[in-house]
Amino acid sequence: MHRALISGVAIAILCSVIGLFLVLRRYSLFGDAIAHSSFGGIALGLMAGVYPLWTAYGVSLASALIITKIKKKYDISGDAAIAVLLSSGIAVGLVIIGISGGFTIDIFSFLFGSILLVSVNETILILSLTGIILIVVLLLYRQLLYSTFNEEQAKVSGIPVEKINYLIVFMAGLTVVTSIQLVGVLLISALFVIPNVTAIMYGKGFKSTAILSISFSILSVVLGILISYIFDITPAGTIVLLSIGLFTGTMGIKSMGLLSKN
Amino acid sequence: MLKIVEIDHLNVKYPDVKALDDVSFSVNKGDFLGIIGPNGAGKSTLFASMLRLNTKYEGTIKFFGKDIRKSKDYLKEIGYVPQKPIFEKNFPATVNDVVRMGLRKESDVSKIDEILQQLWIHELSNRLIGELSGGQQQRVFIAKALVNKPKLLILDEPVAGIDQQSIDLFYSILRELNSKQKITIIWSSHDLDAVNQLANHVACLNRTLFFHGESDEFFENDELVKKYSEASMQEHMHHH
The ipTM is 0.84
pLDDT for the residue numbered A103: 65
Above pLDDT 70, what percent of chain A?
Answer: 97
For residue B147, CA distances in Å to B72, B83, B99 come to 19, 19, 7
Over the stretch B14-36, which tens digit does the pLDDT of each residue have? 888 888 999 999 999 999 999 98
Question: Cβ distance B87 to B130 under 8 Å?
Answer: yes
| Chain A residues with beta carbon closer than 8 angstroms to that of B101 | 142, 145-146, 149, 154, 157
pLDDT for the residue numbered B7: 93
3-state secondary structure (DSSP) of residue A199:
helix
Which of A81-85, A192-196, B146-150 bottoms out in mean pLDDT, i.e. has the lowest? A81-85
Which of A125-139, B89-103, B213-227 bottoms out in mean pLDDT, i.e. has the lowest? B213-227
Determine, for residues B128 and A262 on separate chains, whether the beta-carbon distance falls below 8 Å: yes
Task: For residue A66, count other CB atoms closer than 10 A to its CB.
Answer: 13
Determine, for residues A209 and B85 on separate chains, whether the beta-carbon distance falls below 8 Å: no
Identify residue A248 by its one-letter amino acid code: T
Q: Please say if the pLDDT value at position B238 is more than 70.
A: no
Question: Cβ distance B125 to B94 under 8 Å?
Answer: yes
The whole-angstrom separation of Cα B235 and Cα A50 is: 67
Which of A239-243, B152-156, B214-218 bottoms out in mean pLDDT, i.e. has the lowest? B214-218
Residue in chain A closest to B49 (alpha carbons) equals A156
Determine, for residues B92 and A209 on separate chains, whether the beta-carbon distance falls below 8 Å: yes
The verdict on A72 touching B (C-beta cutoff 8 Å) is no
Section B92-119 average pLDDT: 88
Question: Is domain B3-84+150-239 given the CATH code 2.130.10.10 in the classification?
Answer: no
Could you tell me which residues come within 8 angstroms of residue B123 by beta carbon, excluding any fewer than 6 positions away?
none
Could you tell me which residues come within 8 angstroms of residue A46 by beta carbon, excluding any fewer than 6 positions away?
A52, A100, A103, A106, A107
| Chain A residues with beta carbon closer than 8 angstroms to that of B86 | 150, 152
Task: For residue A77, count other CB atoms closer than 10 A to its CB.
Answer: 9
Give the torsion through C-alpha atoms of B207, B211, B212, B216, to 10 deg: -140
User: DSSP code of B74?
Assistant: G
DSSP-H helix ranges across chain A: 2-24, 30-48, 52-74, 78-99, 104-112, 120-139, 141-149, 151-156, 161-183, 188-200, 206-231, 235-255
Residue in chain A closest to B148 (alpha carbons) equals A157
The whole-angstrom separation of Cα A131 and Cα A135 is: 6
Question: Hey, which residues does B212 pair with through a beta bridge?
Answer: B203
The verdict on A209 touching B (C-beta cutoff 8 Å) is yes
Q: State the Cα angle at B76 between B73 and B78, rounded to 5°.
A: 115
Residue of B78, B94, B101 for testing the chain A interface, max A β-carbons within 10 Å? B101
Q: Please say if the pLDDT value at position A262 is more than 50.
A: no
- Helices and strands, counts by H and E, chain B: 8, 10
Determine phi and psi for A174, rounding to 5 degrees.
-60, -45
Q: Which residue has the higher pLDDT, B229 or B4?
A: B4
The verdict on A205 touching B (C-beta cutoff 8 Å) is yes
For residue A237, CA distances in Å to A3, A59, A243 come to 19, 26, 10
Question: Which contiguous run of DSSP H or E holds residue B233?
Answer: helix B222-239
The whole-angstrom separation of Cα B84 and Cα B25 is: 26
Mean of the per-residue pLDDT values of chain B: 86
Which of A67-76, B11-20, B128-137 bottoms out in mean pLDDT, i.e. has the lowest? A67-76
Alpha-carbon distance A175 to nearest alpha carbon in chain B (angstroms): 23
The verdict on A254 touching B (C-beta cutoff 8 Å) is no
Choose the closest CB to A153 out of B82, B91, B131. B82
Residue in chain A closest to B72 (alpha carbons) equals A158
pLDDT for the residue numbered B195: 87
pLDDT for the residue numbered B240: 42
Mean of the per-residue pLDDT values of chain A: 88
3-state secondary structure (DSSP) of residue B79:
strand
The whole-angstrom separation of Cα B27 and Cα B188 is: 14
pLDDT for the residue numbered A8: 92
The verdict on A203 touching B (C-beta cutoff 8 Å) is yes
Section A20-49 average pLDDT: 87
Nearest CA-CA partner of A21 in A109, A141, A183: A141
Name the pTM for this structure: 0.86
Over the stretch A180-205, which tens digit does the pLDDT of each residue have? 888 888 788 889 999 999 999 998 99
The whole-angstrom separation of Cα B223 and Cα B240 is: 26
* HSE toward the beta carbon, residue A33, CA cutoff 13 A: 25
| CA pseudo-torsion sign A59, A61, A67, A72 | negative
pLDDT for the residue numbered B234: 57
How buried is A102 (Cβ within 10 angstroms: 0-12 exposed, 13-18 middle, 19+ buried)? exposed
pLDDT for the residue numbered A80: 80
Q: Please say if the pLDDT value at position B71 is more than 80.
A: yes
Question: Cβ distance A13 to A130 under 8 Å?
Answer: yes
Question: Cβ distance A18 to A171 under 8 Å?
Answer: yes
Query: What pLDDT band is residue B192 in, cutting at 50, 70 and 90?
Result: confident
pLDDT for the residue numbered A256: 85
The length of chain A in residues reads: 262
- SS3 sequence, B101-163? HHCCCHHHCHHHHHHHHHCCCHHHCCCEHHHCCHHHHHHHHHHHHHCCCCCEEEEECCCCCCC
